[in-house]
Amino acid sequence: MFKLFKLNYLIVLLAFSISIASAQDSNLNSFQNGSIKAIGVSAEKQSKYVALKTALIIAQRNLLEKVKGVSLYNLTQMKNSKITSDIIHTRVQGLIVGAQSCGEKYFEDKGYAEVCLQMPLHGHGGVFDVIYPVIKEYVPAEVPYRPLTPMKKNQSRPFDGLIVDVRHHLSFQPAIINRIIDHHGRTVYDPSMISHKLMMEAGPVQFATTRAKAEAILSDTGSVHPLFIRSENIKSHTDVVVSSKDAEKIYLNNLQSNMLHRAHVVFLLQ
Check residues 212 and 24 and name the one with the higher pLDDT: 212
Determine contact, residues 111/51, Cβ cutoff 8 Å. yes
47-64 pLDDT per residue, tens: 999 999 999 999 988 887
How far does CA 174 lie from the centroid of its chain? 3
Best CA proximity match to 217, nearest among 229, 197, 202, 231: 202
Check residues 68 and 174 and name the one with the higher pLDDT: 174
Residues 6+ positions from 216 with CB-CB distance below 8 Å = none
Rounded Cα–Cα distance for residues 104 and 99 (Å): 14
Q: Give the least confident one: 73-87, 180-194, 214-228.
A: 73-87
Cα–Cα distances (Å) from 94 to 64, 90, 164, in that order, read: 10, 7, 34
Rounded Cα–Cα distance for residues 7 and 3 (Å): 6
Length of the chain: 270
pTM to 2 decimals? 0.74
Q: Per-residue pLDDT averaged across 36-56, rounded? A: 94
Residues 6+ positions from 143 with CB-CB distance below 8 Å = 184, 185, 186, 187
Instruction: Give yes or no for residue 228 having a pLDDT over 90.
Output: yes
Residues forming beta bridges with residue 268, ordered by sequence position: 165, 208
How far does CA 256 lie from the centroid of its chain? 27
Q: Per-residue pLDDT averaged across 65-72, rounded? A: 64
User: Band of the pLDDT at 152, cuts 50, 70, 90?
Assistant: low
Residues forming beta bridges with residue 164, ordered by sequence position: 229, 267
Residue 26, Cβ neighbours under 10 Å: how many? 16
Q: Per-residue pLDDT averaged across 152-181, rounded? A: 86
Residues 6+ positions from 239 with CB-CB distance below 8 Å = 74, 178, 179, 180, 181
Amino acid at 127: V
Write b or e for each residue in 185-199: b if 16 or more Cβ atoms lie within 10 A of its Cβ, otherwise e: eebbbbbbbbeeebb
User: Band of the pLDDT at 5, cuts 50, 70, 90?
Assistant: very low
Instruction: Give yes or no for residue 269 having a pLDDT over 80.
Output: yes
Determine contact, residues 239/178, Cβ cutoff 8 Å. yes
93-145 pLDDT per residue, tens: 666 777 889 999 999 999 999 999 998 888 887 888 877 777 776 666 667 88
- Per-residue model confidence (pLDDT) at position 211: 95
